[in-house]
Structure 1
Amino acid sequence: MPFPPKSGYPIVVYNTIRGLLGLGAEITLFSINTAKDWVDIEDIYDPVFDSIQFYSHELDTGVNVWGALFNIFSNQSYNVSRYFDEDAGKLLENLLRENEFDIIQFEGLFVVPYLDIVKANSKAKLIYRAHNIVFDVWERLANTEMFTPRRRYLQFLARRLKAYETEQINRFHQVFAISEPDRHSILRFGCETALDVFPVALDFKNYVADPTKVSFPTLFHLGAMDWRPNKEGLEWFLDEVWPDIEKLTGELRFYIAGKNMPRHFFDYDSENLVVEGEVLDAMEFMNSKAIMIVPILSGSGMRVKILEGMAMGKCIIATTMAAEGIECEHGKDILIADTPDEFYRSILQCITHPTKWKEIGSNARKSVEKNYDISFIAERMFKVYNELLNA
């Protein structure tokens, strides 16, 4: 569900819809309303929502022990199959029979299980938008898992995902990658269909910074904590980096925020470290802090929160993995750190030279305005639609 657009996937889908509406597209959205991130449709008050035809189906996609066990003896990817439901399929089938569409765009791998239904009931051109390389995320998680039985199960899930992802990629008329590194990955595992890059789009009217409200010296981390790369990266930072950073100055504060915050993170709470959990206004939270920390060690795709931080003029210190796919330059509009020592030196530099982090934040805003504007990306996407229809 892209309403409300508060985290990565919803922001990508919401801004895609918003940009296309601005070009006069007529849009119908079919969403899986998962129990994990359930949204009350009656509580959606949004002009974008009011401008589209909307259909949804509620589904509990949570991990079931017995389901996971029986899946081992099937040939399906458990990560993906949990998102398919026969009732949702019937609703989608009726929708396709009653309407004629020019383009049907699948946003992410977890709606691809409905591809056969779409193919059987529509003559539309079909596009797959890869928000990341899903199996790559699980492969990297498996490689960092120390507990052998869990590592082997993660490897098993990654193999199943890879088989499914590579089999489906050539069943579409067009594929959109979210970043240039992801485009290369998709090509490597055998994509033979048309392939283009459409990154995250931002509406910069929503990112207005107020420097008078920034508290310094402050660090912050903001991200959904039910996404394993966020959780594991932050654990690494708190265990390996923060103890030395905390000693730099008694005035330094590190704020951690994000939905579904695991309980054990609150055990880190101290005078210098504030664990807030989910915040009501992410932009207000981000605006009030100086330096953004993104210590992601695994994953693929594009970190939307980094782009939002850049749009808010924040100095961001991130791992190479976290910044993967984003148009940025170390030392100019971002600081890259991959080891505890590199994080330490980058944070020390920002604290002792306040003009440094301000300069990087200012450059960051200019960079995202140049590369990730919603109008420019929507126009490019609309052009591809027309080319498909006229082919």
Structure 2
Amino acid sequence: MHLVFASSLVPCGAPESGFEIANAAIVDGLERAGATVSHIGFQWPGSSLNAPERTRSLGELDVKTDNASTRQKLAWLARAMAGGLPFASAKLRVLGDAAFRAALDEIGPFDAVVINGVGLAGAFEKALTDQPYLYVAHNVEHQSAAEAARQASSPVERFMYRREARHLRALEERLVAGARHVWTLTQEDRATFGLEGSERASVLPLVTPLSATAIPAGQRVPAFDAGMIGTWTWTPNRIGLEWFLQEVMPHLPEQVTIAIAGALPAGFPQRDKRVTFLGRVVDAKQFIRQCRIVTLTARAGTGVQLKTIETFEMGLPAVATPSSLRGIADVPANVRIADTGREFGKLLAEQIVGHRTGSVTDLDATAFRASQIAGMDAAIAQALSAFRAGH
């Protein structure tokens, strides 16, 4: 079975962002199921394709909004308004439908397209949905946009996010309605799309990709009591970070040390001497192993938290909010769950002391990863079998 994985980004180098990690894991799963997978989409500027013989690159493109100039952002906005597109899709609309169709045709005969998220689908909807397709819903994107609108600090931002939410909702409804099968990453997202109990939808438990750097082995030597990593410029992540700094930090002892890695919004202030902001780190897994306890602080958004899965795959102790555990069926024994700042701070302090004294330890995560892979393989096999039967 030949599938075309249509995504805003094609595989280039080691996956870094949560989106890229999830993509690589899903492609690994499709290939384990016996599918041949080709790719179409854009690549990062200056990058090299991982599988050039199976990839049709649409060109180099940096679509990060926080990297863009004001002039570029206004150009994207004008394109979105003129085309009635979500802003996220307008950034990718740098060639016409005919050129995109020609690129898709160059891949050769294929059985179906796997539409991976809304970005590329919104930019070239007709060309992609004219084919038999399966849809991967990484998140309920319109809910995230609506949440960002509620958190917006200016009327202009609020207007923009509300507009985005409207267009994304309509696009997601069309993609779900036309798909042969829909994969979501959590049961909650499946229900939100009205597909709970439907044989046309299933949940994909995620793992980090088999091609990713191996989990470091050996004894840990923690440099920090607790830590977290993420792209904090993304609104749902930033909401969790702000909650931790405002609601959790006041309930932690003065002597604790907290490290936060990942890109921050411009001008983000240093507010507490106990917190060290490290920016982007070279090796995310090595960084997180330098923290006694991992803090998983999601308070918003949909879909799965890849940093939660990475933490559990490494067997590291953590304190997590309920939102951080979306899509996780079995929570490891060395993880504590808290939904208020006070309770989170209390449990985090206890976990730190427990790790210092040896009562809280790392776990063998082999069974967790095996369970996630088995769940993913079952969901993919079910969908591909149904597709073949109905094709």
Verify same fold: TM over 0.5.
yes
Out of 57, 64, 75, which is 2:73 matched to?
64
Q: Per the alignment, in what secondary structure is the counterpart of residue 351 of structure 1?
A: helix
TM value normalised by structure 1 = 0.82
Deviation at 1:74, TM superposition (A): 6.2
Alignment of 1:134-283 (within 5 A): 134-145=141-152, 147-148=154-155, 150-187=157-194, 194-203=200-209, 206-210=213-217, 212-215=219-222, 218-247=225-254, 249=255, 252-258=256-262, 260-265=263-268, 267-268=270-271, 270=273, 272-283=274-285
Instruction: Measure, in 2, the Cα distance between the counterparts of 1:292 and 1:299.
Output: 20
Out of 285, 288, 308, which is 2:287 matched to?
285
Instruction: Measure, in 2, the Cα distance between the counterparts of 1:311 and 1:132.
Output: 22
Deviation at 1:151, TM superposition (A): 3.1
Q: Which deviations, in whole Å up to 9, do the C-alpha atoms of 1:318-369 show, x marking residues without a partner? A: 222222222244x8353222222011111121123234532xx427x25632
- Give the corresponding residue for 2:99: 90
- Give the corresponding residue for 2:3: none
Instruction: Measure, in 2, the Cα distance between the counterparts of 1:281 and 1:88.
Output: 39
Deviation at 1:195, TM superposition (A): 1.1
Structure 1's unaligned 5+ residue stretches are none
- Give the corresponding residue for 1:368: 368
Deviation at 1:379, TM superposition (A): 5.8
Q: 1:293 to 1:182 in 2, by over 3 A?
A: same
Deviation at 1:229, TM superposition (A): 1.4
Deviation at 1:264, TM superposition (A): 3.3
Deviation at 1:218, TM superposition (A): 1.3
Instruction: Measure, in 1, the Cα distance between the counterparts of 2:177 and 2:287.
Output: 42
Deviation at 1:230, TM superposition (A): 1.4
Please tell me whether residue 41 in structure 1 is matched to residue 47 in structure 2: yes
Instruction: Measure, in 2, the Cα distance between the counterparts of 1:146 and 1:203.
Output: 37
Q: Per the alignment, in what secondary structure is the counterpart of residue 16 of structure 2?
A: coil
Deviation at 1:386, TM superposition (A): 3.5
Q: 1:55 to 1:386 in 2, by over 3 A?
A: farther
Contact in 1 for aligned 2:41/2:57 (Cα 8 Å)? yes
Please tell me whether residue 19 in structure 1 is matched to residue 29 in structure 2: yes
Structure 2's unaligned 5+ residue stretches are 1-8, 66-71
Q: 1:380 to 1:320 in 2, by over 3 A?
A: closer
Deviation at 1:266, TM superposition (A): 6.0
Q: 1:39 to 1:68 in 2, by over 3 A?
A: closer
- Supply the AA of the counterpart residue of 2:38: T
Instruction: Measure, in 2, the Cα distance between the counterparts of 1:333 and 1:357.
Output: 7
Q: Which deviations, in whole Å up to 9, do the C-alpha atoms of 1:120-166 show, x marking residues without a partner? A: 5x5xx311100110001112222334545533442332122212221
Q: Decide which moves more: 344-353 or 190-199.
A: 190-199
Contact in 2 for aligned 1:307/1:368 (Cα 8 Å)? no
Instruction: Measure, in 2, the Cα distance between the counterparts of 1:298 and 1:292.
Output: 18
Contact in 2 for aligned 1:327/1:371 (Cα 8 Å)? no
Q: 1:209 to 1:152 in 2, by over 3 A?
A: same
Out of 100, 108, 113, which is 2:109 matched to?
100
- Give the corresponding residue for 2:380: 381
Contact in 2 for aligned 1:297/1:319 (Cα 8 Å)? yes
Q: Which deviations, in whole Å up to 9, do the C-alpha atoms of 1:202-259 show, x marking residues without a partner? A: 3578553545223166101111223211123212312332244251x3xx3211111x
Q: Which deviations, in whole Å up to 9, do the C-alpha atoms of 1:285-331 show, x marking residues without a partner? A: 122222111222210000011100111111122222222222244x8
- Give the corresponding residue for 2:6: none
Q: Per the alignment, in what secondary structure is the counterpart of residue 327 of structure 2?
A: coil
TM value normalised by structure 2 = 0.82
Instruction: Measure, in 2, the Cα distance between the counterparts of 1:266 and 1:88.
Output: 44
Out of 132, 137, 140, which is 1:133 matched to?
140
Out of 300, 303, 307, which is 1:301 matched to?
303
Instruction: Measure, in 2, the Cα distance between the counterparts of 1:97 and 1:348.
Output: 57
Deviation at 1:176, TM superposition (A): 0.9
Q: Which deviations, in whole Å up to 9, do the C-alpha atoms of 1:11-40 show, x marking residues without a partner? A: 11112223333454322111223xxxx253
Q: 1:386 to 1:57 in 2, by over 3 A?
A: farther
Contact in 2 for aligned 1:172/1:193 (Cα 8 Å)? no
Q: 1:277 to 1:246 in 2, by over 3 A?
A: farther
Number of equivalences: 369
Please tell me whether residue 110 in structure 1 is matched to residue 119 in structure 2: yes
| Larger helix proportion of the pair | 1
Instruction: Measure, in 2, the Cα distance between the counterparts of 1:139 and 1:356.
Output: 43
Alignment of 1:330-369 (within 5 A): 332-354=333-355, 355-358=358-361, 361-362=362-363, 365=365, 368-369=368-369
- Supply the AA of the counterpart residue of 1:254: I
Contact in 2 for aligned 1:255/1:276 (Cα 8 Å)? yes
- Give the corresponding residue for 2:39: 29
Out of 313, 325, 328, which is 1:326 matched to?
328
Instruction: Measure, in 1, the Cα distance between the counterparts of 2:16 and 2:380.
Output: 23
Q: 1:57 to 1:193 in 2, by over 3 A?
A: farther
Q: 1:171 to 1:303 in 2, by over 3 A?
A: same
Q: CA RMSD in A?
A: 3.1
The percent identity for this pair of structures is 21
